[in-house]
């Protein structure tokens, strides 16, 4: 019997036993017992999760942290607000994309078989339930807990005489001079309201000075004013006291319409499509064309309307009509509609006991401040895991290179970086010092487009060469390359990472950084830069794997090696840590590997369209999601029977990363570094404190300690202790 036949025979036994046990979906069950597993229909929609709905499950896991007593109180509030921020982006990008498919009659079912119309209905239902839960957590748990810590949000009905006088003065001095009330009549049509802005709709009685009585008005809250206002201690001496801008506007809104009566005043907010659509304009016009698109983002098609629960039906219907939305797209909330703006509270009070304890990221001895980083990397490759280890050495390396007369050139990709970027300053200094500086800036990094355009201008003015990547492909790779003269030879050094060159994010996102002088690896990085900035035929790196060229093919090949190894009766294992898995080809390959007996562990923070635990298709696959203090962002792949076994990457296992982005996947060549990363992956897989496991039904369950009286530290805290 051939190896292929032996494999099919063995797997057929598994299929038959699974069919008897009723583990397979019925449609698969009927075929599986009649055909070899090679004929199992891996296109079956029962094997796939819907991308949008699964993302929303991730956001629910974020929301659940707001109720988790393990987190300090202010951090719990932040999780609640991050849920709001994520939800906004979800509607701005993903929901608007589904609506476009409906509008243009281009509905396409995904691998899960669901069409956009059904997905939108499910989203609206689940979001409505989640918002009810979110505001219940806020009103019944967080606000009382904050009040117990002497942090108060003072509603209008609790204002005493002194506070009322102070708010009146604030209204007169700060709000009234900048607010623009808008009466609605034929000469004052419904205004174009900015995406996610706070507004009020009013019903009025009486006539104004011109004899008009439209009955309706809109009051946009001034965007130049803070949404949360701290009350001076001389007005309310006890604790930290705050008032919402919306409360002050509501209290004195009648002052904006003298001689008229305000019958109703209710806050509302509309969320709009914010996905930029860029055609293939000429490269020299690209920045200008993108800049022109940024303004339109503020006024895209509406996707969601939020109003206060007390807003009457006639006013909500009026708003729905104006925004061309349905009642399904209306969400009534029991509290401020612009909840995300509460994030300002975090920096407005000094209560360290209500926050996570501060920590100092660790540093390997060779990378300590003021050390020669080139000498450290010459000695051996340096591997860092942020935020547990510092990101500062990467910034210092660029600063050092900018001043080092032996450094001839610097090349770097920038996808996202922080507002006042030290890296941009260092690169500009290097260019001014006469070094050849080339920076590939991705202008289309969502919501960072304007900032990246500004950084491009700063670098160009300093004399750096700035390119915007390749039309049609986002440059998502994280690469930094130095060329340095040592004697009569040139030597290359490189930094490769899984995350962005963003110092602020490096304190809250988990990411790997590799600092290397490996000749082959650095030559590969040089080739990729040449491919991006120049033109030419496909390159063939020796160690790097890069998208959109060979990353998909290489991943499928490495999965196939594990599949064949398991089919031959040998041990085979795959561990992958990514932000998302949506690519159908990768999922089918993992299913095939699982059927063959490969043990597969997937650590997926966000979207996972694969369903684990379905015998015989995915019974060897386990999926966990870790949600905690730090945002899990690193991408790491382990293939037991490949050499090298460990790869780090900028790419998730998504169609966009494998098909439409420039990504790099780099091997970890040093055995001690590979062993370290493998051990750190095992810590994640063993976590039973902040991990959620995905079941065969598509639901996530929070894992509990094995013993009920066992107290376990979560994996992030363990790494913090080990590395900082």
Please report the DSSP string for 237-294 in residue order: -SSEEEEEHHHHHHHHGGGGSTTSEEEEEEEEEEEE----------GGGHHHHHHHHH
Per the structure, the count of domains in the chain is 4
pLDDT at 724 over 90: no
Three-class secondary structure of residue 432 per DSSP: helix
629 & 506 share domain: no
pLDDT at 52 over 80: yes
Q: Name the residue range of residue 28's domain.
A: 3-41
pTM of the model: 0.89
Cα 499 from Cα 511, distance rounded (Å): 5
Three-class secondary structure of residue 415 per DSSP: coil
Compute CA 7 distance to the chain's CA centroid, rounded to the nearest angstrom: 41
Q: Concatenated DSSP letters for 631-659?
A: EE--EEEEETTSSS-EEEES--BSHHHHH
- Among residues 478, 506, 540, which one ends one of the domains? 540
567 & 657 share domain: yes
The more confident residue out of 115 and 444 is: 115
31 & 72 share domain: no
Of the spans 40-44, 103-107, 510-514, which averages the highest pLDDT?
510-514
* Neighbour-count burial for 245-254, b at 16+ CB within 10 Å, e otherwise: bbbbbbbbbe
In a domain, 435, yes or no: yes
Q: Concatenated DSSP letters for 147-205?
A: HHTTEEE--GGG--HHHHHHHHHHIIIIITTT---EE-BTTBPPP-PPTT--EEEEEEE
Are the beta carbons of 511 and 719 closer than 8 angstroms? no
312 & 406 share domain: no
218 & 265 share domain: yes
In a domain, 594, yes or no: yes
Q: pLDDT at position 8, please?
A: 36
Taking Cα atoms as reference points, which of 628, 368, 654 lies closest to residue 509?
Answer: 628
Cα 716 from Cα 510, distance rounded (Å): 9
How do residues 663-693 score in pLDDT, each as one tens digit?
999 999 999 999 999 999 999 999 999 999 9
Instruction: Flag the least confident range among 11-25, 186-200, 616-630, 698-712.
Output: 11-25
Burial of 192 (0-12, 13-18, 19+ CB in 10 A): exposed
Between the alpha carbon of residue 567 and those of residues 11, 276, 597, 621, the distances in Å are: 9, 47, 7, 16
In a domain, 143, yes or no: yes
512 & 400 share domain: yes
In a domain, 359, yes or no: no
In a domain, 20, yes or no: yes
Full strand arrangement of the beta sheet holding 302-308:
182-183, 216-220, 199-205, 261-272, 302-308, 330-333
Instruction: Express as a percent the part of the chain with pLDDT over 70.
Output: 88
632 & 693 share domain: yes
Neighbouring-strand partners of residue 410 = 437, 482
377 & 464 share domain: yes
Residue 208's CB is within 10 A of a number of other CB atoms, namely 16
| Residue 696: DSSP 8-state | T
Are the beta carbons of 488 and 482 closer than 8 angstroms? no
Cα 469 from Cα 287, distance rounded (Å): 12
Instruction: Flag the least confident range among 275-284, 375-384, 508-517, 564-573.
Output: 275-284
- Among residues 540, 560, 576, which one ends one of the domains? 540
668 & 551 share domain: yes
Are the beta carbons of 356 and 629 closer than 8 angstroms? yes
CA atoms lying within 13 Å on the CB side of residue 544: 31
691-694 and 621-626 as β-strands: parallel, antiparallel, unpaired?
antiparallel
Full strand arrangement of the beta sheet holding 228-230:
151-153, 240-244, 228-230
Cα 335 from Cα 319, distance rounded (Å): 19
Q: pLDDT at position 470, please?
A: 81
Active-site option among 476, 495, 502, 526: 476
Active site residue 157: no
- Among residues 495, 523, 540, which one ends one of the domains? 540
In a domain, 46, yes or no: no
19 & 88 share domain: no
310 & 233 share domain: yes
How do residues 363-379 score in pLDDT, each as one tens digit?
999 998 889 999 999 99
Three-class secondary structure of residue 572 per DSSP: coil
Q: pLDDT at position 40, please?
A: 85
pLDDT at 694 over 90: yes
479-486 and 474-475 as β-strands: parallel, antiparallel, unpaired?
unpaired
Taking Cα atoms as reference points, which of 695, 700, 690, 275 lies closest to residue 510?
Answer: 690
Between the alpha carbon of residue 269 and those of residues 323, 354, 392, 627, the distances in Å are: 11, 30, 40, 29
Instruction: Express as a percent the part of the chain with pLDDT over 90.
Output: 74
Burial of 392 (0-12, 13-18, 19+ CB in 10 A): middle
Are the beta carbons of 458 and 428 closer than 8 angstroms? yes
Q: In this structure, what CATH number is given to the domain that contains residue 258?
A: 3.30.1840.10
- In which band, very low, low, confident or very high, does the pLDDT at 446 lie, cut at 50, 70 and 90? low
In a domain, 390, yes or no: yes
534 & 555 share domain: no
Residues 6+ apart with CB under 8 A from 449: 276, 290, 294, 443
Q: In this structure, what CATH number is given to the domain that contains residue 614?
A: 3.30.870.10
In a domain, 47, yes or no: no
Give mean pLDDT, residues 631-641: 97
pLDDT at 153 over 90: yes
């Amino acid at each position: 019997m051939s190896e292929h036949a032996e494999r099919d025979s063995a797997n057929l036994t598994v299929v038959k036993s699974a069919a008897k046990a009723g583990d397979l979906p019925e449609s698969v069950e009927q075929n599986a017992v009649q055909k070899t597993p090679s004929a199992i229909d891996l296109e079956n929609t029962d094997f796939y999760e819907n991308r949008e709905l699964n993302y929303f499950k991730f956001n629910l896991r974020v929301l659940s942290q707001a109720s988790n007593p393990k987190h300090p109180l202010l951090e719990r509030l932040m999780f609640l607000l991050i849920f709001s921020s994520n939800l906004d982006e979800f509607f701005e990008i993903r929901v608007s994309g589904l609506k476009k498919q409906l509008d243009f009659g281009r509905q396409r079912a995904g691998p899960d078989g669901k069409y956009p119309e059904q997905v939108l209905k499910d989203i609206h239902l689940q979001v409505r339930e989640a918002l009810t839960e979110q505001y219940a957590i806020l009103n019944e748990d967080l606000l009382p807990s904050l009040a117990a810590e002497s942090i108060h949000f003072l509603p209008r009905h609790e204002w005493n005489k002194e506070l009322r006088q102070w708010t009146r003065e604030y209204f007169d001095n700060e709000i009234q001079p900048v607010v623009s009330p808008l009466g609605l009549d034929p000469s004052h049509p419904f205004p174009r309201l900015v995406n996610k802005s706070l507004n009020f709709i009013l019903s009025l009685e009486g006539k104004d000075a011109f004899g008009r009585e439209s009955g309706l008005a809109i009051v946009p809250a001034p965007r130049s004013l803070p949404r949360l206002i701290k009350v001076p201690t001389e007005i309310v001496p006890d604790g930290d006291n705050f008032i919402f801008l919306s409360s002050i506007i509501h209290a004195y809104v009648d002052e904006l319409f003298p001689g008229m009566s305000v019958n109703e005043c209710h806050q509302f907010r509309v969320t709009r499509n914010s996905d930029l659509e860029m055609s293939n304009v000429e490269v020299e016009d690209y920045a200008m064309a993108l800049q022109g698109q940024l303004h339109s983002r503020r006024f895209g098609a509406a996707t969601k309307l939020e109003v206060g629960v007390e807003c009457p039906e006639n006013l909500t219907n009026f708003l729905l009509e104006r925004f061309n939305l349905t009642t399904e797209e209306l969400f009534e909330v029991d509290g401020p509609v612009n909840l995300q703006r509460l994030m300002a509270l975090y920096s407005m009070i000094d209560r360290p006991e209500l926050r996570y304890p501060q920590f100092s990221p660790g540093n390997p001895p060779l990378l300590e401040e003021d050390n020669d980083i080139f000498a450290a990397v010459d000695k051996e490759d340096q591997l860092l895991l942020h935020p547990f280890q510092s990101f500062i050495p990467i910034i210092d390396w660029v600063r050092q290179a900018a001043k080092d007369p032996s450094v001839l050139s610097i090349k770097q990709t920038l996808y996202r970086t922080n507002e006042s970027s030290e890296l941009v300053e260092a690169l500009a200094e290097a260019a001014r010092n006469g070094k050849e500086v080339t920076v590939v800036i991705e202008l289309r990094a969502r919501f960072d487009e304007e900032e990246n355009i500004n950084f491009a201008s700063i670098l160009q003015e300093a004399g750096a060469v700035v390119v915007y990547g390749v039309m049609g492909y986002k440059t998502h790779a994280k690469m930094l390359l130095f060329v340095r003269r040592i004697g009569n030879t040139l030597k290359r050094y490189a930094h490769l990472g899984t995350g962005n060159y963003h110092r602020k994010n490096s304190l809250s996102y988990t990411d790997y950084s590799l600092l290397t002088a490996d000749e082959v690896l650095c030559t590969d990085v040089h080739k990729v830069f040449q491919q991006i900035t120049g033109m030419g035929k496909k390159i063939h790196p020796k160690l790097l794997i890069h998208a959109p060229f060979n990353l998909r093919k290489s991943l499928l090949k490495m999965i196939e090696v594990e599949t064949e190894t398991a089919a031959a009766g040998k041990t085979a294992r795959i561990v992958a840590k990514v932000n998302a898995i949506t690519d159908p080809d990768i999922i089918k390959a993992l299913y095939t590997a699982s059927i063959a007996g490969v043990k597969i562990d997937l650590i997926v923070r966000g979207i996972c369209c694969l369903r684990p635990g379905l015998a015989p298709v995915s019974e060897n696959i386990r999926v966990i999601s870790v949600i905690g203090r730090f945002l899990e962002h690193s991408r790491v792949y382990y293939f037991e029977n490949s050499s090298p076994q460990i790869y780090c990457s900028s790419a998730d296992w998504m169609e966009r990363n494998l098909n439409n982005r420039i990504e790099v996947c780099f091997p970890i060549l040093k055995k001690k570094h590979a062993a370290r990363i493998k051990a750190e992956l095992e810590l994640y897989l063993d976590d039973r404190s902040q991990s959620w496991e995905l079941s065969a039904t598509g639901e996530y369950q929070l894992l509990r300690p094995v013993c009920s009286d066992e107290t376990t530290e979560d994996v992030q805290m363990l790494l913090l202790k080990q590395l900082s």
